[in-house]
Structure 1
Amino acid sequence: FDSLCLTKAASIHSSKMSRGGIRFGDLLHFGEFKEKFARMARNKEKRFQEFDFHVDVDAEVERYAEYAKKLENVIIDTVYELNNWAQQGQRILVEGANATMLDIDFGTYPYVTSSNASIGGAVTGLGLAANKIECVIGVVKAYTTRVGAGPFPTELLGEDGERLQKEGHEVGTTTQRARRCGWLDTVVVRYTSMINGFKDLNLTKLDTLSIFDTIKIGVGYTYNGKPLPSFPSHLDVLSKVEVEYIELPGW
């Protein structure tokens, strides 16, 4: 998995999917929490014994006991809280943490995060019905960026890519790695708009492109000499496409 350049969140999500994970609400039932934590620690030690992995269960439980005291008044059932707000007509603003192309289902798998970063993540993550969502606003940079490995058809290699990275201060929020940079890819924008149902599109960081006399925008893909009607679902195809560009004067 190291070749995927992950943020190391997969192990947390795997605990959730295997039904062995611990949730914040467990801190309110601390006796049960201690049993779950000890069981999880034993399982992890057994799984990673070749790395001489060991958990001081007593010390960790003591640390979490302090967390429980500090957090007990702010741990609530957010599903009912959010739905009550919605029923009262209050406005709820939800911001996604990752781009749709990192979505575990619809992104450039396996070069993705471990959760749903598309509009579906708002529904499954918050417990709000899909029909409660009134407006979806897409946010896209005036150029394209990516952290880590994976296909990137409009990537700018060499000096221009480095200039764009420095001018845009493009560094990964979690990893602090320099982001790969390239021209805006409207094939990706159309694909993500289809999935999320954008009502509006917010284009950001136009000023960063001021360093270029000519600006390119990717508007289509060809594969084996033939135009592709949509964003390819197969990674091998995506890695071999040729991009059709339009060129516009800078400002």
Structure 2
Amino acid sequence: MRNVHATRADALPGAIVATANEYPVHHRVARHRHRRSQLLYAATGIMIVGTEAGRWIVPPERAVWVPAGMDHEVKSLVHVSTRSLYVDPAVDPALPVDCRVIAISPLMRELLLETADLPLPYARGSRADSIFSLLVHEIVRAPVLPLDIPMPADARIAARCRAYLRRPSPHETIDDWCRDLDLSRRTFTRRFRAETGLSFAGWCRQAAIFAALPRLAAGAAITPLAFDLGYDSASAFTTMFKRVVGVPPSRYLAQSPPSA
């Protein structure tokens, strides 16, 4: 099923359905929800998925899992080619119940690219049924990637987080935030970790990744980007990026567009 609007996916028949869509640069899919869980895969391009709980960045060859019933919106930062898999949660109780970005193995990639032309509805025991069943198994075992930026429930801390996301800087300290929010360091640290699941330093590193990836996708050079984000050198930024993502920024978005 190609070029099916996200809000129409719920009308498609079956416990598992798949769609393929192309989104132009800066396209926005307004906030919506699905009765099935959604695996949204970026075959090419880069997207940001937003929910009340936080934001997830989806670079090429990665996918975001959005549980059934969760309100979310999608924005493409460059032209994006997607595959979506919609899965009834009853299909497998081991499926994730939280939003997450996952790594896509070579096997998953080929299976997801194949789904766009599978018939709907499909017969039990058919080739389509086997492909979808194998994909469910692969989703359950897929590694989770640190590409989310959780937002705290506390309104004042969340506002401070949003301001930081607009212009992240490694030179801001936890004491700066505590002073701005009129909170003791102990209270702030306890509340921040409880509401985001991350330390303050870990959250700030994630924020820098969020600021950097769209610009890297647009072709920004690493050295001026590092300085603009407040790093003293390109090597310092590269070290931070590799610590969080696992590869240096020069390699991270060097993906060849797959043929579909």
- The TM tier, using the shorter chain, reads under 0.3
TM-score, length basis structure 2: 0.24
Q: Which has the higher strand share?
A: 2
TM-score (norm 1): 0.25
Return the index of the structure with the highest Cα Rg: 1
